[in-house]
Amino acid sequence: MAAAAAGKALVASGLDVADIGMVTVATCSAIDRSPSIAAQVAARLGIPSPVCFDLNNACAGFCTALACADHAIRAGAARHALVIGAEKMPGLVDWTDRSTCILLGDGAGAAVISAP
């Protein structure tokens, strides 16, 4: 899901994969700890050598990842960043707890942000 959303965001941006200098994924449902989901997405999309990291953050994860990418761009560490939020919750949810399980599901979204 993360790679599919990221691929769509990359196409919509009009940039080439080589232009992306940073990939970050916000998720609290990652099964793999290493390599990071961000590194797996970068490899799947063929992004040559980005800075990659995951943020283990649920509800505010995408906003936190967006802020990290913004700070990296403002600091000159990257010119273009791919920011992804992705969750796959069904395997982690207690389906007998009807007060919370109905609030959680699967989904992914992504954006490319760039320096002005």
Structure confidence at residue 101 (pLDDT)? 73
- pLDDT tens-place string over residues 90-103: 777 788 888 877 77
pTM equals 0.89
Phi-psi label, residue 43: left if phi above 0, alpha if psi -120 to 50, beta otherwise: alpha
Closest CA to 23 of 4, 5, 6: 6
- pLDDT tens-place string over residues 24-80: 999 988 877 889 999 999 999 999 989 999 999 878 899 999 999 999 999 999 999
Please say whether the beta carbons of 80 and 19 come within 8 A. yes
More reliable by pLDDT, 4 or 34: 4
Residue 65, Cβ density class (10 Å: 0-12 exposed, 13-18 middle, ≥19 buried): buried
C-alpha to C-alpha distance for 54 and 25, rounded to whole angstroms: 5
C-alpha to C-alpha distance for 110 and 38, rounded to whole angstroms: 12
Structure confidence at residue 51 (pLDDT)? 94
